[in-house]
């Protein structure tokens, strides 16, 4: 069956158009709105309907095929894979299959297992060195969000990521020179218009990153009572302001939560609170951990205000890193 996909692209989003298409089709498969054998619209037709270049749709379909969510058949079109979504997303299974096919080819060419093993080790070492050599600078306005999104990206992308506050960067005499050693400059969408003009000489390295509270954080914040005593423990006024804005938006609460200094938690009586909101990360000292445990025992709800990088931004960054690594391997 040829489907009219319910896709809606946001031209103002920091997530590239092709990544939005991938995300939305993947979501339709996971939610059961697309089934094995369903035929996706031809690239040209979907591009015309979404008002994007055909190459944008082509790139999205190629990524979906790499993930084995779709199957392309010459002359027939692109179809939702007959494999179960869970199996299609099994990276280990896909990797083992690719390695097995490569080993079959080497055996047919009469190479010994020892030769193949040595080549594999060499190729892996070269790629590890190339990826380890990719350096990114993450920029944000508050240390809480900066720590969270730098750590998440480093874990998911496997590259070296350094974090720096926007205010510190632009307090220096030459921000562009300070950024020059980095291959990628990662900037949340909320600060991109502020950061991009002074760093115009490095515009090819600037990448907008969509950063937002996790779904679990939004759900817990939305469930907060409007009249109970709430406090936000923060290192920066900016983080406190962001949390207060989300609380007001999700609950309609008019009273602003108290701001507590993170370093003073052990000195304070937290037992009067209904909820204590904490930043993510590994900032806790043993004394902080004990203070939080005492508050929890006293019935205080502890809420970690977790951030996440949207999947579309991750897909885009993986594509950029792959290009950098490939260029270095070929040079």
Residue 185 confidence (pLDDT): 96
What is the sign, positive or negative, of the torsion defined by CA atoms of 148, 150, 151, 152? Answer: positive
Which residues in 258-291 are b (16+ Cβ under 10 Å) and which e?
ebbebeebeebebeebebbbbbbbeeeeeebeeb
Instruction: For residues 287 and 262, give the distance between their C-alpha atoms in angstroms, rounded to a whole number.
Output: 11
Query: How does DSSP classify residue 13?
Result: S
pLDDT at position 259: 94
d(CA 239, CA 251): 18
User: What are the φ and ψ backbone dihedral angles of 299, each rounded to 5 degrees?
Assistant: 100, 10
Tokens representing residue 274 in the block = 């209904």
Answer yes or no: are the C-beta atoms of 149 and 138 closer than 8 Å: yes
- Cα–chain-centroid distance for residue 193? 20
pLDDT at 248: 93
pLDDT of 63 reads: 86
Confidence at residue 283, expressed as pLDDT on a 0 to 100 scale? 66
Take residue 29 and report the two structure tokens written for it.
């498969």
At residue 165, φ and ψ (nearest 5 deg) are: -75, 140
Cα-trace Rg, the chain: 24
Residue 104 falls in which region: left (phi positive, over 0), alpha (psi -120 to 50) or beta: alpha
Helices H / strands E in the chain, number of each: 14, 12
Confidence (pTM):
0.64
Q: What is the pLDDT of residue 88?
A: 44
Q: How far apart are CA 259 and CA 263, in angstroms?
A: 12
Judge whether 257 and 278 are in contact, CB under 8 Å: no
Angle at 137 between CA 213 and CA 200, to 5 degrees: 105
Condensed to tens digits (0 to 9), the pLDDT of residues 261-284 reads 988 899 999 999 999 999 987 567
Question: Which token pair is 168?
Answer: 């510190």
Mean pLDDT by 10 residues, the chain (331 residues): 72 81 87 84 89 89 85 82 57 78 91 91 83 88 86 84 93 92 92 90 92 87 92 90 92 91 89 92 78 91 88 86 86 73
Q: How far apart are CA 19 and CA 312, in angstroms?
A: 5
């Amino acid at each position: 069956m040829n489907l009219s996909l319910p896709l809606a692209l946001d031209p103002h989003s920091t997530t590239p158009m092709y990544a939005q298409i991938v995300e939305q089709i993947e979501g339709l498969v996971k939610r059961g709105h697309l089934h094995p054998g369903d035929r996706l619209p031809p690239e040209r037709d979907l591009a015309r309907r979404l008002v994007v270049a055909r190459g944008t749709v082509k790139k999205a379909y190629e990524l979906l095929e790499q993930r084995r969510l779709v199957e392309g058949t010459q002359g027939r079109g692109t179809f939702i894979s007959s494999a179960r979504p869970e199996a299609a997303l099994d990276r280990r299974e896909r990797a083992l299959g690719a390695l097995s096919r490569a080993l079959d080819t080497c055996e047919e060419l009469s190479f010994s297992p020892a030769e193949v093993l040595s080549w594999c080790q060499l190729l892996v070492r070269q790629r590890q060195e190339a990826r380890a050599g990719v350096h990114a600078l993450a920029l944000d306005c508050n240390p809480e969000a900066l720590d969270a999104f730098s750590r998440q990206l480093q874990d998911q992308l496997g590259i070296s990521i350094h974090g720096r506050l926007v205010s510190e960067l632009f307090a220096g005499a030459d921000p562009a020179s300070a950024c020059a050693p980095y291959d990628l400059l990662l900037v949340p969408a909320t600060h991109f218009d502020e950061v991009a003009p002074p760093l115009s000489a490095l515009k090819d390295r600037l990448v907008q990153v969509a950063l937002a509270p996790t779904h679990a954080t939004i759900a817990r914040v939305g469930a907060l009572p409007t009249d109970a005593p709430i406090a936000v423990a923060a290192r920066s006024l900016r983080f406190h302001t962001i949390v207060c804005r989300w609380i007001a938006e999700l609950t309609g609460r008019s009273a602003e939560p108290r701001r507590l200094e993170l370093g003073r938690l052990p000195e304070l009586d937290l037992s009067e609170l209904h909820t204590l909101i904490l930043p993510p990360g590994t900032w806790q000292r043993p004394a902080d951990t004990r203070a939080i445990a005492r508050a929890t025992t006293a019935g205080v709800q502890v809420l970690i205000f977790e951030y996440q990088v949207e999947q579309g931004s991750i897909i885009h960054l993986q594509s950029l890193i792959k290009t950098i690594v490939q260029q270095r391997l070929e040079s």
